[in-house]
Copies of this chain bind each other. A is one copy, B any other.
């Protein structure tokens, strides 16, 4: 599932009017299994709605982030990518090519201890990011 619940509804996303542009952006992001950036989404959406503008894509993605349906992934000097799979927040960021590789691994509870120690903060979530080399870059550097 791309979204929080299997029963999400398009119009429950803080979006007032359900235009064909937004429908298309939502569908594209929902079915993306990579970590697309705005330009990638834009390209894909144009196959359906050729007249859509990049600005509209950005506005829609921003709305989805604000409402918690997408997680923005930022990396030094690169375009923001969007993560639609909110179930597990584990990534390897390749220090060579910048790719985000999904990692699925059970994590210990990282929240409650910190919450107890920092009661003055309002901690919502925790994100874990691994740094290293993806498989491609690793073998490329070894050969």
Contacts and interface: CB of A to CB of B under 8 A. Distances in A.
A82 B72 CA distance: 19
Given A74-B74, A77-B80, A105-B113, A123 B132 contact: yes
B125 A132 contact: yes
Is chain A's binding surface mostly helix, strand, loop or mixed? Answer: mixed
Interface string A81-107: 000000000101001000001010101
17 contacts: A95-B124, A105-B114, A120-B138, A121-B132, A121-B133, A121-B135, A122-B133, A122-B138, A123-B131, A124-B131, A125-B131, A126-B130, A127-B128, A127-B129, A127-B130, A128-B128, A128-B129
Given A103-B114, A105-B114, A114-B130, 9 more contacts: A92-B121, A92-B123, A103-B118, A105-B117, A124-B131, A125-B131, A127-B128, A127-B129, A127-B130
